[in-house]
Amino acid sequence: MAVRRSQRPAGTPNCRGSRERGIEQLGGTLTEAMSLSASDLFDQAEAYWLSAVALDAADVQTELASQPVRNLYYVAIELYLKAYLRLHGHTLDELDGKFRNDFRRIRRRCEAFGLKFAGSDKRTLEYFIHTPIYVRTKFSTT
């Protein structure tokens, strides 16, 4: 049984962090996690997107302040696209396996289901495809 937004206990955050931690917070099991629906993935994407918007609006003035914002947007975009694939029948194992951080494969599969990318959306996906993940999500190290 999928855990829907209306079934979440009061005060439980919408953003789950990791799937296992999120299911644990909701009092569920890993078996229930395997039944996450496309709308559950979409909800997670929304949480990341809205967090990026809020963090960006905070206008933090440090050297690498934009990096966490970009990382949140990156995860949100990946989750939105995976929600689309989930809606079209892909399992969570597939999404976490062969589609994990593989934007070329994600894009091709979404296009096969009729999703069109143009303009800045297309340029963003091209950036994700041609830029290694460690560059896209780099963090400062000391």
Type of residue numbered 130:
H
pLDDT in tens, 17-62: 444 444 444 444 444 455 789 999 999 999 999 999 999 999 898 8
127-142 b/e (C-beta count within 10 Å ≥ 16 → b): ebeeeeeeeeeeeeee
Res. 131: pLDDT tops 80? yes
Q: What is the mean pLDDT of the chain?
A: 79
Spatial CA neighbour of 84 closest among 105, 61, 115: 115
Q: Are 83 and 47 a contacting pair, CB within 8 Å? A: no
Burial class (CB in 10 A: 0-12, 13-18, 19+), 123: exposed
